[in-house]
Amino acid sequence: MNYPIDISIKPEVTPFFDPETNTISYVVKDPSSPACAIVDSVMDIDYAAGRISYKSADRIVEYIRSNGLQVDWLIETHAHADHLSAAPYIQQQLGGKLGIGEHIVTVQETFGKIFNEGTDFKRDGSQFDRLFKDGDTYSIGKMTAFVIHTPGHTPACTTHVIGDSAFTGDTLFMPDGGTARADFPGGDARTLYRSVRKLLETLPPETRLFLCHDYGPDGREIRWETTVREERMHNIHVRDGVSEDSFVKMREARDKTLSMPRLIVPSLQVNTRAGHLPEPDESGKTFLKVPINTL
Ligand SMILES: [Fe+2]
């Protein structure tokens, strides 16, 4: 695939860190116009109380409004398992088109079965405005963004490259954090290795990488920005010289030790619906399911 790389374009990137889920959302602005994209927004949930709220999303809405920005796109790098997306809430207030990787249909199929969803749960990605294929391009003001399909953590993972900046979702963590797990339904460690190496060998070394999560390993401060060069030199899981087989062995062994993310059950029911809650039942109330002994 010949990707339209142009590192002379330098978008203005503003991070929003959510300490509840260690998620970083981004506003990515065209330096030559008010146009921007929002990457991986967060809807707040008090899971124990079954209550959702929008403090995190409102910070972004307020930022966009007070800076007079125009939202061209709301991007989901993948169907997240650790937080709920606020994309529909933000879209309702600010507009923009909502996009995710085309393989969301695979994720919808998988979790449609796990949650025994009825026929009203569409598995064709139609909850989104656009399903991106590998190599697809789209515009944010005068900037051209493009998509690299980077499966492994999930089948629908994508990296969005906008000028000199790439938004990797959970395909990569900071060099001292390594990589995300690859053991969710549809995940695969070998596929993840190949995606990461494709990314690191395709993008120029000075490309800025913006990550979706950081957990501050060994007590260091939270960080979310690195470069392709740094990852190739120092990433503890996938730096240059680490073989595919040794990565797969490490990743699979490590994944066996991890418990499920606290919010996986609500996250996947909401995020496979593009951030919408399930339809209310006949009582008019909205419910989420908990599958027993399934995940
Ligand atoms: Fe994820």
Q: The domain that contains 223 carries what CATH number?
A: 3.60.15.10
Q: What's the CA-to-centroid distance between 282 and ligand 1, angstroms?
A: 33
Q: What's the CA-to-centroid distance between 99 and ligand 1, angstroms?
A: 16
* Structural domain contains residue 2: no
* Structural domain contains residue 170: yes
* Structural domain contains residue 105: yes
* Structural domain contains residue 279: no
Q: What is the pLDDT at residue 193?
A: 98
Burial class (CB in 10 A: 0-12, 13-18, 19+), 261: middle
Q: What's the CA-to-centroid distance between 233 and ligand 1, angstroms?
A: 24
Structure token pair of residue 246: 């040794």
CB 130 within 8 A of CB 76: no
Integer-rounded Cα Rg, in Å, for the chain is: 18
Q: What's the CA-to-centroid distance between 54 and ligand 1, angstroms?
A: 20
Q: What's the CA-to-centroid distance between 43 and ligand 1, angstroms?
A: 15
Burial class (CB in 10 A: 0-12, 13-18, 19+), 90: buried
What is the spatial distance between Cα 169 and Cα 165, in angstroms, rounded to a whole number? 13
Q: What's the CA-to-centroid distance between 170 and ligand 1, angstroms?
A: 5
Q: What is the pLDDT of residues 108-134, one digit of tens each?
A: 999 999 999 999 999 999 999 999 999
* Structural domain contains residue 281: no
Domain containing 167 equals 12-271
* Structural domain contains residue 196: yes
Q: What is the pLDDT at residue 285?
A: 96
Dihedral sign from CA coordinates of 200, 203, 204, 210: negative
Q: What's the CA-to-centroid distance between 3 and ligand 1, angstroms?
A: 24
* Structural domain contains residue 295: no
Containing 282, the helix (H) or strand (E) segment is none
User: What residue ranges of the chain have pLDDT lower than 50?
Assistant: none
DSSP 280: P
Domain count, the chain: 1
Q: What's the CA-to-centroid distance between 168 and ligand 1, angstroms?
A: 10
Query: What pTM was estimated for this model as a whole?
Result: 0.97
Residue type, 51: R
Structure token pair of residue 268: 């996947």
Q: What's the CA-to-centroid distance between 286 and ligand 1, angstroms?
A: 25
Q: What is the pLDDT at residue 295?
A: 84
Q: What's the CA-to-centroid distance between 283 and ligand 1, angstroms?
A: 33
* Structural domain contains residue 73: yes
Q: What is the pLDDT at residue 75?
A: 98
